[in-house]
Structure formats: C-alpha cells, structure tokens
C-alpha cells in the first residue's frame, strides 16, 4: 500500500513528498488496547453522570457530610450493616433510605443496592448478555428467570440506552477495584 505524507509549509500550499512503501502503522494490539481504554473511560463517564455510585457505594461522613467510601466503590450495601427497626406505619406515605443510601424501605419491603464492582460477589462473573438483561429487562443478576430488580433501581430509564453505551458501562464496571461483599437478600413487607 502506498501512502503520501503532507507537510504544511508556512505561507505555501501543502506539498506532498514521495510515496512510501510501508507507512507507519499502529500495532493491532495497541489499537485494541486504545479502544478498550476509550470504552472504559466512556463507561466511567456514564456511571458518573448516571449517579450509579449514589446508591451502589456506601457513604462515610466527611467534612461536608456524607461522601462515597472510596474503599467500597460500587460495592453495594455492606453485608455487615444492620438496619434499625422500621416503623411500618410510615410506609404508606414514605420511602425511606438508610444513612449510607444503600438500603431503601417502601411498600415492596427493603431492597439493598447491589455490588456492581468487578469482584465475583459483584458482577465479576457476569457476561455482557446478563448485564444487558439486567439493565433492559430489570432482572436480578441478569438472569431471565430471576426476580425483578426492586425499587429504587431505575432500570426502566436505561431501556433505550444504546448497546455501545451499555458495553462501555459494563467494561468500566469490570475494570473497577473488586469489593468483596455479598449483599443481603431483600426483605419482604411481611418480614419487616
């Protein structure tokens, strides 16, 4: 393949040099790595603007109030964290969140934000297909026969998200620091 190289010379039109037989090219592996890094970066951006860490990351108290705990980024509701007794009388008028914003109580009972870090207790073993199923069909662990994802997970907001955007989010989540944390199962209203 022949290629020509153009140079911009001040106050003159670009000039062409003689064609070269082997133009410089990027290594295929480097292109793939660049594409993967760009995909992960886009995923990080989408996770940030969608506020995924608002619910999927426990909070610690900082100088300005609650802040995401960087040691548990996207690790979901801490398995060791116990919830106080719930006043069931309030559930007809309110949805309540715990202090770390990782548990929500409402008419459905108690739901806990999932671990979406790259750990096996999170989405470490998930396939891209499972991720798409969770985000587009609202299925727990992305399994078509599983229970629905519970509020406040806003999965219906993501149904129209492009495959490319979902792939980017998934690539970013799979690249995160693994947080080992098996999130508790939801609590049904009759068990409150």
Q: Which residues does 92 contact at the CB level (< 8 Å), separation at least 6? A: 107
pTM of the model: 0.80
Nearest to 74 by CA among 97, 51, 96: 51
Would you state the structure tokens that stand for residue 158, as one six-digit string?
């993501």
Nearest to 106 by CA among 60, 68, 153: 153
Q: To the nearest whole number, what is the mean pLDDT of the chain?
A: 87
pLDDT, tens digit (0-9, with 9 covering 90-100), for 122-175: 999 999 999 999 999 999 999 999 999 999 999 999 999 999 999 999 999 999
With H, G, I as helix, E, B as strand and everything else as coil, classify residue 42: helix
pLDDT, tens digit (0-9, with 9 covering 90-100), for 62-80: 999 999 999 999 999 999 9
Residue-level length of the chain: 192
Burial 1-14 (b: 16+ CB within 10 A, else e): eeeeeeeeeeeeee
């Amino acid at each position: 393949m022949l290629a020509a190289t153009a140079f911009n010379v001040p106050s003159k039109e670009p000039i062409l040099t003689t064609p070269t037989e082997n133009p410089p090219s990027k290594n295929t592996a480097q292109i793939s790595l660049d594409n993967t890094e760009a995909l992960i970066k886009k995923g990080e951006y989408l996770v940030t603007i969608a506020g995924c860490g608002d619910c999927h990351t426990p909070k610690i108290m900082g100088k300005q109030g609650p802040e995401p705990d960087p040691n548990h980024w996207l690790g979901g509701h801490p398995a060791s964290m116990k919830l106080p007794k719930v006043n069931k009388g309030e559930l007809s008028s309110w949805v309540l969140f715990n202090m770390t914003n990782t548990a929500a109580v409402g008419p459905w009972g108690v739901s806990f934000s999932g671990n979406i870090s790259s750990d096996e207790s999170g989405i470490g073993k998930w396939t891209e297909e499972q991720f798409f199923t969770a985000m587009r069909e609202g299925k727990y662990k992305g399994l078509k026969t599983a229970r629905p994802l519970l509020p406040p997970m806003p999965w219906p907001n993501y149904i129209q998200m492009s495959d490319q955007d979902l792939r980017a989010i998934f690539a970013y989540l799979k690249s995160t620091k693994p947080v080992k944390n098996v999130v508790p199962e939801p609590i049904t209203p009759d068990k409150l």
